[in-house]
Amino acid sequence: MRRLALVLALALGVGAHRVDATWQARSGEAFRARAGALEQAPRKGNVITVDDRHFYFRELQTVGAEALIGPNASRDASVRPLYRDPIPVIADFRDRLAERDIALLVVPVPVRPWIHPDGLFDDGTRLHPQGAAQAWTDFVDAVRAEGIDVIDPLPILQSGANRDPVLWMSRADQHWTNLGMRAVTSAIAKRLRKRGLVSGTPRETTAELKTVTRKAAIGVQDGIDLGTETFEVRRIHDASGDAPPDRDPAAPIVVLGDSNIVWYSDWDAHLLAQLQHELGVSIDSVVVHGGGASRTREELVREDALDPGYLDRKRVVVWVFHGIGVQKHEWQVVPLEMFPPTRLEALAAPPRLATDQALYDGPGSLAGLSARFVPSRERGQPAWMNGVLGLVTFAVADGTAPTHLVFELQSRQKGPLQVELDGEPIATLDLVPGPSRHRVPLGVVPGRHQLGLRWKVPTNEVKLGIRSLHLVQGEPFASLDAETPGLGALPAEGAIALPDGLPEHAALRLHWMAGDKRCAPTVRIALGDRTLYRGAPDPWWHEVSVPLDGAGDGAVLRVMRSCADGSDRPAAVTLDRIEIDAI
């Protein structure tokens, strides 16, 4: 009798496993089919709505993929074949860090529909959570198979969403909820303690729960009003009542991440603050919005170049990146050493710090980008200030101190902008709606510094965009502004007379607006028969630097432009500023 019961129990167990496996497979098929169908559904901007839940189009593209790794992996068309496989890149990064005695902990953030797959349906469909997220599970398993320490937040978030989806999967925000992020942060802290990797300057913090309300995040960039969201956050603050600093270059723990690690910073409730509260020590961070796949690692290397010995002080790197990046970003091998610039690169660039910083997808770097900037997804568009204060950190080595801050703004309304250096005001600019360019003198010594842009207009909405931000060495040799023939709206061919007595090595920096939005103008700059520059920028503000070696007294530059599409109509180009710097 007991033998019969045992046989029946085994049979029932095997049968249950088969049913479960079948349900997983069918759930995966149904989930991917639904995601694919929603991709084709009507949408506002990039937003697709299911009942009262809102998803970005790219979220559905990612979760609709049958595979994220292997020969059949789904990849965005913009990703070049050489950079489509994240697994060897993650393993390479682990190995390079290990050579420096630095441990790695990988924390990939799953895309929302995987957390609560039933939320894609409006007819009460129930799916097997693991089956719907099989592509994600295979990706995490492949990372683990390389012997890499990884925390998968998906089981944590799914467990909570099974009980209460609203608290664990946001209705209109592609990032994790504050509750979900806190749960994952606790798992990170637990893992670091288990591995004996917690060290650094002790930091005392306290926590308090707070209910906050904001505009629904999804749709903001597309100008779609999805109402407001009210939710609870855990605010972290120190004895001064402020959030603990996100940066401590001396800290042995550094967190690399995209917007997920600084989300909720408006309420001092982001992951960087939560982790310091959980660990009781200060930490360092490198943040690049939308750049978790490769650009955070590049910025880590730049930090080490700016601050020699920076990596030597690190014991562990916690690498957080969004699951969308697995499919849509390029995965590049990043050495932990910066290669020196070639002479050609030095001549082609204006005499700036190697740490030239820009807050958009263009020349320069995102090093030290504050959470209070929201970069655009479109190249050349401004990074909008999210709040009244934007902060950028930079380091100065001996002999490299910048003398000026040069930046371009896009203002939506009138108001004063205060420029701060290390918390002290150094200039106040009276802005008007539209684009503008500014040059502010600096006085800095070697060490780390912080630039602040304080928008002094009381508002809760984003009103000020940063197009570029550069640290410049040296006074301009000459400013050609009003005396320059052709300055302003150029004819088909504009002549620029260079001043006499140019340095032996100099660079001409031109800043212009190509205002004809019907075509992108081709601009050519020539000195005699020699072409110094040729390019076809987008119709907006641009800056180019060209070497002037060989330009003698009385030299005249010619600036020519025409439509890049081959049409005969002239393309408007308005010169805003011309400067010459000694190299």
Reported as a pLDDT band with limits 50, 70 and 90, residue 96 is: very high
The more confident residue out of 201 and 25 is 201
Number of other CB atoms surrounding residue 124 within 10 Å: 6
**CA-based nearest residue to 325, from 276, 360, 292, 281:** 292
Q: Note the pLDDT of residue 534.
A: 75
Q: Do 281 and 392 belong together in one domain? A: no
**Cα dist from 42 to 37, 48, 49, 121, 154, whole Å:** 10, 7, 9, 15, 29
Tens-place pLDDT, residues 347-368: 333 333 223 333 333 333 333 3
Indicate if the alpha-carbon torsion angle 115, 117, 120, 125 is positive or negative. Answer: negative
CATH of the domain at 533: 2.60.120.260
Which of 5-14, 75-84, 331-340, 568-577 is predicted least confidently?
A: 5-14
375 has a pLDDT exceeding 60: no
For residues 309-338, give the mean pLDDT: 89
Q: How many CA atoms lie within 13 A of 449 on its CB side?
A: 20
The DSSP 8-state label assigned to residue 486 in this structure reads T
Supply 108's token pair.
């990939």
- What confidence tier does 481 reach under pLDDT thresholds 50, 70, 90? very low
- Give the Cα separation of 168 and 115 in Å (integer): 8
- The most confident of 30-44, 323-337, 535-549, by mean pLDDT: 323-337
- What 3-state DSSP class applies to 301? helix
**432 with 309, same domain?**
no
For tokens 């200030």, the residue is: 385
Rounded distance, CA 55 to CA 431, Å?
A: 36
pLDDT band at residue 319 under the 50/70/90 scheme? very high
Same domain, 296 and 421: no
Whether 1 is in a domain gets the answer: no
- Per-residue pLDDT at 565 exceeds 70: no
Whole-number Cα distances in Å, 447 to 134, 171, 242, 441, 444: 48, 44, 24, 18, 8
Show Cβ contacts of residue 172 under 8 Å, excluding neighbours closer than 6 positions. Answer: 53, 54, 216, 217, 218, 219, 226, 229
Determine, yes or no, domain membership for 388. yes
Q: Is the dihedral of CA 62, 63, 66, 70 positive or negative?
A: positive
pLDDT-based confidence at residue 458 (cuts at 50, 70, 90): low
Name the nearest CA neighbour of 111 among 166, 170, 67, 162: 170
Helix (H) or strand (E) holding 36: helix 2-39
Both 407 and 464 in a single domain? yes
- Which residues, 6 or more positions from 517, have their beta carbon under 8 angstroms from its beta carbon? 539
Which of residues 316 and 218 earns the better pLDDT score? 316
- Name the range with the highest mean pLDDT among 86-100, 376-390, 404-418, 483-497: 86-100
Q: Output the six-digit token pair for 200.
A: 């650094």
pLDDT, mean over the chain:
75
Q: What is the torsion angle, in degrees rounded to the nearest 10, for the CA atoms of residue 378, residue 382, residue 387 and residue 392?
A: 110
Which region, left, alpha or beta, applies to residue 296 given φ > 0 means left and ψ of -120 to 50 means alpha?
Answer: alpha
Residue that is last in its domain, among 475, 503, 535:
475
Threshold 0.85, pTM exceeds:
no
Asked whether residue 21 is assigned to any structural domain, the reply reads no
Together in a domain, 187 and 323: yes
- Same domain flag for 158 and 284: yes
Interatomic CA distance for residues 270 and 260, integer angstroms: 8
Query: Looking at 412, 440, 475, which one is the last position of a domain?
Result: 475
Q: Do the domain assignments include residue 450?
A: yes
Question: Do both 323 and 359 map to the same domain?
Answer: no
Q: Which of 446, 475, 504 is the last residue of a domain?
A: 475
Neighbours of 117 (CB within 10 A): 27
d(CA 227, CA 222): 14
Q: Which pLDDT does position 109 carry in this prediction?
A: 95
* Nearest of 288, 315, 233, 311 to residue 266 by alpha carbon: 233
Query: Are 367 and 221 within one domain?
Result: no
Q: Are 215 and 231 in contact (CB under 8 A)?
A: no
39 within some domain:
no
End-to-end CA distance of the chain: 94
* 102 close to 315: Cβ distance less than 8 angstroms: yes
> Which amino acid, residue 244?
P
Note whether 444 and 520 are same-domain residues: no
Domain that holds residue 531: 478-582
Q: Which DSSP string do the residues of 428-466 spell out, in sequence order?
A: EEEE-SEEEEEEEE----SEEEEEEEEE-S--SS--EEE
Cβ–Cβ < 8 Å for 341, 89: no
Split into its structural domains, the chain has a count of 3
In which region does residue 475 sit, left (phi positive, over 0), alpha (psi from -120 to 50) or beta (all else)? beta
Q: Tell me the pairing of strands 316-322 and 103-109.
A: parallel
In this structure, the answer to whether residues 160 and 199 fall within a common structural domain is yes
Cβ-in-10-Å burial (0-12, 13-18, 19+) of 392 comes to buried
324 and 369, same domain (yes or no): no
Q: Let me know if residue 341 belongs to a domain.
A: no
376 and 287 assigned to the same domain: no
Is residue 429 assigned to a domain? yes
In a domain, 540, yes or no: yes
Residue 200 carries which DSSP code? S
Q: Is 209 exposed, middle or buried (0-12, 13-18, 19+ CB in 10 A)?
A: exposed
